[in-house]
Copies of this chain bind each other. A is one copy, B any other.
Amino acid sequence: MDQTSALVEQIVEAWTQLHSQQPLVQCITNSVAANYTANVLLAAGASPAMIDNRFEAESFTQIAAALSINLGTPTQEQMQAMQISAQTAQHTHTPWVLDPVGYGPILKWRSDMVDDLLQYHPTVIRGNASEISTLAGKQTQSKGVDSTLDSAEVYSHAKVLLEHAECIAISGESDFILTQEIDAVIQVNGGSYLQPKVTATGCALGALIAAYCAVTTPTIATIAAHTHFAIAGKLAFEQAPMLGQFNVAFMDYIYSLNPELIQQYADIKILTL
């Protein structure tokens, strides 16, 4: 079996574990993504809980199987919860995902918080090309919270971020995943050009990575979550090329993905860095 086929088998195994374990995933996320993220996690087989207040953050992270922190529309109360939960996750060795939405000099408040959260060593950092590139120290431009860069231009710079996290994931037309475990870049293809036209898909992907992290290694979790989205997006588009219907079909396929579909449609390349 070649290395790519071995990865696909591990994705299938991760999917199977996600459905049998139904891990409890704590999400501290934004007002745009809250409903959508919960629906994606439920559809994928996980058990989401949006616990984002400082009074319950510590006790809840202690029982959660994974944690997802998203900086989309932070409030001061959420900021406190983020710090407490990230610190708790580090102590309890609970995997956690950091999604630095909008990272950059224009949105300084959240960017300072992202910098601060790095001290608690996220398991995975995921973002679009602009966010990851800026976080990696490159001067880049973004357009609000949407990227102005292509993911393929960025992954070579992103390697420096592996000192902060076990995996770095850059989403775009193709997704690129760097990991401490493998000295290579994993490219995940699929999806549809309609996917970025549905808000919060990236945010929900971050939470799905966290869910997979509860049942497998960070590397496989990150690849599995991206593959899960890539296949669902591809099949949804084939069935429903209109935006509203695409979004409905996407949730159908997030839910109905199975080992056969993974084996048939997973489109993964291993690139040398």
Decide: B73 and A50 in contact? CB cutoff 8 A: yes
**Bound: A172/B140 CA distance, A:** 44
- Residues of the B chain whose Cβ atoms lie less than 8 Å from the Cβ of A32: 34-35, 38, 50
Q: With an 8 A cutoff between CB atoms, is A24 at the interface?
A: yes
Decide: A252 and B245 in contact? CB cutoff 8 A: yes
Interface string of A24-67 (1 = CB under 8 A from B): 10100011111110110011000111111101100110011000
- Residues of the B chain whose Cβ atoms lie less than 8 Å from the Cβ of A110: 56
- Residues of the B chain whose Cβ atoms lie less than 8 Å from the Cβ of A145: 49
Selecting from A117-125, A130-138, A183-191, A195-203, the interface stretch reads A195-203
Decide: B244 and A197 in contact? CB cutoff 8 A: no
Q: Given known contacts A35-B35, A50-B32, A199-B35, is B59 in contact with A107 (CB within 8 Å)?
A: yes
- Residues of the B chain whose Cβ atoms lie less than 8 Å from the Cβ of A77: 75-76
Decide: B247 and A244 in contact? CB cutoff 8 A: yes
**Bound: A227/B268 CA distance, A:** 44
Interface string of A230-273 (1 = CB under 8 A from B): 00000000000011110111111011100000000000000000
Size bracket of the A interface: 35 or more
Q: With an 8 A cutoff between CB atoms, is A72 at the interface?
A: yes
Decide: A102 and B49 in contact? CB cutoff 8 A: yes
Decide: A252 and B256 in contact? CB cutoff 8 A: no
Decide: B73 and A34 in contact? CB cutoff 8 A: yes
Decide: A109 and B53 in contact? CB cutoff 8 A: yes
- Residues of the B chain whose Cβ atoms lie less than 8 Å from the Cβ of A33: 35
- Residues of the B chain whose Cβ atoms lie less than 8 Å from the Cβ of A60: 106-107, 144
**Bound: A150/B196 CA distance, A:** 38
Q: With an 8 A cutoff between CB atoms, is A143 at the interface?
A: yes
Decide: B30 and A50 in contact? CB cutoff 8 A: yes
Q: Given known contacts A77-B75, A243-B252, is B199 in contact with A42 (CB within 8 Å)?
A: yes
Q: Given known contacts A243-B252, A244-B252, A249-B244, is B55 in contact with A109 (CB within 8 Å)?
A: yes
Beyond the given pairs A24-B144, A60-B144, A244-B249, 11 more chain A to chain B contacts, judged by CB atoms under 8 angstroms and listed by A's residue number, are A30-B34, A31-B50, A39-B199, A47-B143, A48-B199, A51-B102, A53-B73, A63-B144, A242-B256, A243-B251, A245-B248
